[in-house]
Amino acid sequence: MATIKVKFRPSTIADREGTIYYQIIHERKVRQLLSDYRVFPTEWDESRSMVTSRPGNVRKSFILSIRERIRWDIERLTKIDRKLDSNGLSYTADDVIDEFNRYAQEYSLFNFMEGIIAKLKQNGKVRTSETYKSTLNSFKKFREGEDIMLDCLTSEIMEAYEAWHHKRGVAPNTISFYTRILRAVYNRAVEHDIIENRNPFKHVYTGVDKTVKRALPIALVKRIKALDLSLTPSLDFARDMFLMSFYLRGMSFIDMAFLKKSDLKNGYITYRRRKTGQQLIIEWTKEMQMILDKYPENESDYLLPVIRNHGTNERCTYRNVGYNINHNLKSIAGMVGITIPLTLYVARHSWASAAKAKGIPISVISEGMGHDSEATTQIYLASLDTSVVDKANSLILKSL
């Protein structure tokens, strides 16, 4: 086993900060590993080999952060040394330093997440990779671009990240979404024995709050359908795509955008959900065909007028079109007196709600929506329409 010590080298220039470094001794060979930490001689306690802060020192918080980082570095060096020693092969102090530097390059949070994102893309999980990238960009903004080692993530840092979001007015479910992804990344590092679990997420919220009801009753869907939007093509298109999603049993927009002409055969659409890979078959109806007939046939291989041309960036086009549709749906909501945020996703909830209102069994609704389990469908339906329960409660109270 190697001996690892923390050392301080004063600056050769008076009144300048000196350097913290680590001395690694193994088999009588002495090596030095420089750190990026700089302190004044008065901030170094030689007897305890530790940085220290005297009362009244304005750099107290800075010194404490360096002390914590030194502790993490020593833990990491010790862990590396134990791992090399347990392999039963001979190693040198230089091997310990090389492994430490390699760890710093590969196992910072930013680098580790970038590696996961690249693998997700290679495995065809593009949407998941995009959510991870969005989370990474959010955390980078919080850190002002300063990377952090995976084993340096603490509950204090995660609480500060949560508070940072709150100050920016971010919704709790969105904050939880980012935090859950960071937790998944952290847990993967723990599973791979890269770090030990310090439970940095124990004091932050990682649940999902019930959101505002996002389903429309059939009457409102009819009002949207009946609008005369012939003079505003952008609103007309947004309305058509909303209705198409509803007609297609609440099909998600990404699945709609990437439907191919070859998916429509003998009066049926056959496709696989991008999210789950589950195959679904939907009867192609006259209502769907009426919408499709309004638009010129695409030059691309895709069925609906979303990705229309060859040679375009399909993912970028899909996102931009979806953004514009959702933006225009806000205007449509105002026309028919809808108070909830109207988006394409509301069409999916609305179909589920309409199916429930018609007394269709949950098992059938689940199959129609392409859910992995009825439990997922139950979550969808749980907050869609509480009026039935309210009416039941009213009858009970009247009977008292």
pLDDT tens digits, residue range 14-48? 889 999 999 999 998 999 999 989 999 999 999 99
Chain-centre distance of CA 362, in angstroms?
29
Q: Do 102 and 126 belong together in one domain?
A: no
- Tell me the CATH number at 371: 1.10.443.10
Q: Do 35 and 176 belong together in one domain?
A: no
Pair 310, 299: CB distance under 8 Å: yes
- Tell me the CATH number at 157: 1.10.150
Q: Do 32 and 140 belong together in one domain?
A: no
**Total-model pTM:** 0.61
Q: What domain range is 124 assigned to? A: 109-191
Span 190-207, average pLDDT: 88
Residue 388 has pLDDT above 60, yes or no: no
The verdict on residue 211 lying in a domain is no
Closest CA to 351 of 314, 311, 384: 384
* Beta strand spans in 76-127 (E): none
Q: Do 90 and 118 belong together in one domain?
A: no
Question: Per the structure, how many domains does the chain have?
Answer: 3
Q: Do 118 and 72 belong together in one domain?
A: no
Instruction: Please state the φ and ψ torsions of residue 88, each to the nearest 5 degrees.
Output: 80, 5
Q: Do 293 and 374 belong together in one domain?
A: yes
Q: Do 77 and 181 belong together in one domain?
A: no
Q: Record the tokens describing residue 298, joined without a space.
A: 């695409």
Q: What is the pLDDT of residue 310?
A: 82
pLDDT digits (tens, 9 = 90+) for 37-96: 999 999 999 999 999 987 777 888 889 889 988 988 998 899 889 888 888 889 999 999
Query: Which residues contact residue 248 at a Cβ distance below 8 angstroms, ignoring those fewer than 6 apart?
Result: 256, 269, 282, 288
Q: Do 303 and 378 belong together in one domain?
A: yes
The verdict on residue 225 lying in a domain is yes
Q: What angle do CA 277, 278, 283 make, to 5 degrees?
A: 130
Q: What angle do CA 237, 240, 245 make, to 5 degrees?
A: 130
CA distance 89 to 99: 15
Of the pLDDT bands very low, low, confident and very high (cuts 50, 70, 90), residue 396 is very low
Of 266 and 375, which is predicted with more confidence? 266
Share of the chain above pLDDT 90, in %: 52
Q: Do 125 and 223 belong together in one domain?
A: no
